[in-house]
Amino acid sequence: PSLGWSIAVVAILLGSKQIHSTFANEKYRIVLLTAIAAIFSILSAVRIPDWKSNYTLFTSDVDKVPESARAQYNAGSAMIDEAKINRKDASGLTKGAQQHLKRAIEIWPEYQDAYNNLGISYMNSQQFDAAYNIYLSFIEKFPAYSKARYNMAVTCQKLERYDEAETHFEAFLESNPTQPDALYFAAECEGFQSKFSEAISHLEALIRLEPTKLRGVLKLGMAYAMSNDMEHAEFYLLKATQMAPNNADAFFNLAVFYATTDQHKKALTQLEACLRIDPSYERAQGLLNQLRGSINP
- 297: confidence class by pLDDT, cuts 50, 70, 90: low
What whole-number percentage of the chain has pLDDT above 70? Answer: 80
Backbone angles phi, psi at 178, to 5 degrees: -110, 25
Q: Which of 224, 237, 231, 236 is nearest to 274 (CA)?
A: 237
The pLDDT of residue 48:
44
Q: What is the pTM of this model?
A: 0.78
Residues 6 or more apart from 149 whose CB is under 8 A from it? 139, 168, 169, 171, 172
Helices (H), the chain: 2-14, 17-22, 26-47, 54-64, 69-85, 90-107, 112-124, 128-141, 146-158, 162-175, 180-192, 196-209, 214-226, 230-243, 248-260, 264-277, 282-295
Mean pLDDT of 22-32: 54
Q: What is the pLDDT of residues 46-59, one digit of tens each?
A: 444 444 556 776 78
For 180-244, the fitting CATH number among 1.25.40.10, 1.20.58.340, 3.40.50.720, 3.40.50.1110 is: 1.25.40.10
Angle between helices 112-124 and 90-107 (to 10 degrees): 160
Question: Cα separation of 107 and 139, whole Å?
Answer: 19
The pLDDT of residue 45:
46
Q: What is the pLDDT of residues 246-290, one digit of tens each?
A: 999 999 999 999 999 999 999 999 999 999 999 999 999 999 999
Q: Which of 153, 159, 98 is nearest to 128 (CA)?
A: 159
